[in-house]
Amino acid sequence: MSQEFDVVVIGGGPAGYVAAIRASQLGLKTACCESQSYADPKGEPRLGGTCLNVGCIPSKALLHSSELYDQASHSFVMHGIKADSVTIDVPSMIKRKDNIVTQLVSGIKGLFKKYKVTFIPGHGSFVANTDGKWQVKIGEEVVTATHVIVATGSHARHLPGVPVDQNLVLDNIGALNISGVPKRLGVIGAGVIGLEMSSVWKRLGSEVTILEAMPDFLAAADANVAKEAWKIFTSKQGLNIQMGIQIKEVTPKKKTVVIKYENDDGDQTLEVDKLIVAVGRVPNTAGLNAEGVGLALDERGRIAVDHHCATNLPNVWAVGDVVPGPMLAHKGMEEGVMVAERIAGQATTINHDTIPWVIYTHPEVAWVGKTEQELKAANVPYKQGQIPFLANGRALGQGDTTGFVKVLAHAETDQILGVHILGTNASELIAEAVVAMEFGGAAEDLARTCHAHPTLSEAMHEAALAVDKRSLHF
């Protein structure tokens, strides 16, 4: 007899493992399967998906290590701290990153035991629907489920004709395991992954060139943020970012990679020691037998879902990177919780307009809601308040006054429409804006909320005051 479950989750990344845990918390008999996409030294499948294994977590570990090295090399002196002959031990830095990943991945297995989620190693795919129940093949076993949640995530998009060997030509996986500081690093793509990986190796001493096909830098961000970030990353930090380029040819040599491309000045050639390809991600739908059971995909290969992540098939749901929307771990987690709760009969929903974005460069970039250019395009009347961290006492004390906080509110109702932050700890500061917007808050609500002094969060307070042209410290 095959095992029977109320819910089977295909995929153990952030969206999948969170969905499984929440479903089990609600009393549903739940299983979660994961293939050997990421295996531990023993060859056993690792939970956590791209995010924990080769994405969010390891990249932030490397970013922090490289930032400390950069501070020790250049910033400690202003505090009266002298650190001569600072060096970086890259293998130790990589080992620390790996230890963090191992700890967190092991923690998910512990959570599965705690909440009684059955973990079944193996690739999951649909077999058929019989008498209202789904048969799902996991490895060599076929299990039965009333509901199936697809959370298979995504993988790095590769350029046609550009072989990724994780030695000379790397995607996100190889970029996190470079064994030494490359003298010359090339990066194709100036998105989140490209900028973060460029930041790591630039701080450690690489000469970094970023080639981006789009004509505008950080087009998804608020124009003021993108403009200021451009100046910081290029003029102050020395990243060579070229926009509007067209890749012609990538040729790996014995120890280097040659990139031929075209920009406004014509044909160009760049030779680097390592090349990172960071041109987006592709949803993982291969091997699901989607066509065999009639699971609908959209024109971009993602699983088509409604606002509550229900697919066209009865009792089949899909969450995370495999469905439309931003490929963000926290977005996938929220979708996983929503689906589990809807299966259990609750009326949970998600406000996709209040999902925050973060780029973990230095300074960090974070935003939620609409940009100023989006409001203009939609003819929405708005007002704004913008406060630089230069006017913030805590930022001065920490020796980093780069950036600003910008609050956009409706001109008539004062409801907060968007908040945009460029600066230290922007990733943490944006949470206050998310909460305010989730409750339909007004700029006045933030302005009337007492913020501890001295804190970086006071910049948010001042920006909210500035919406009504009554900031107190700028």
Backbone angles phi, psi at 147, to 5 degrees: -125, 145
Is residue 453 among the annotated active site residues?
yes
Burial 110-131 (b: 16+ CB within 10 A, else e): ebbeeeebbbbbebbbbeebee
Triad 341, 435, 226: Cα angle to 5°: 115
255, 273, 394 from 209: Cα distances, Å: 18, 11, 34
- Torsion, Cα 427 432 437 441, to 10 degrees, reads -160
Name every residue whose Cβ is closer than 8 Å to that of residue 472 and which is 6 or more positions away in sequence: 462, 465
> Strand, coil or helix: what is 10?
strand
The encoded tokens of residue 205 equal 């001493």
Note whether 402 and 254 are within 8 A (CB).
no
Eight-class DSSP state of 297: B
DSSP lists the bridge partners of residue 388 as 404
User: Under 8 Å CB-to-CB from 422, ≥6 apart: which residues?
Assistant: 225, 228, 229, 363, 364, 365, 402, 403, 404
Catalytic annotation, pick one of 74, 79, 453, 473: 453
Contacts of 260 (CB under 8 A, 6+ apart): 247, 248, 249, 250, 251, 267, 268, 269
Catalytic residues: 453
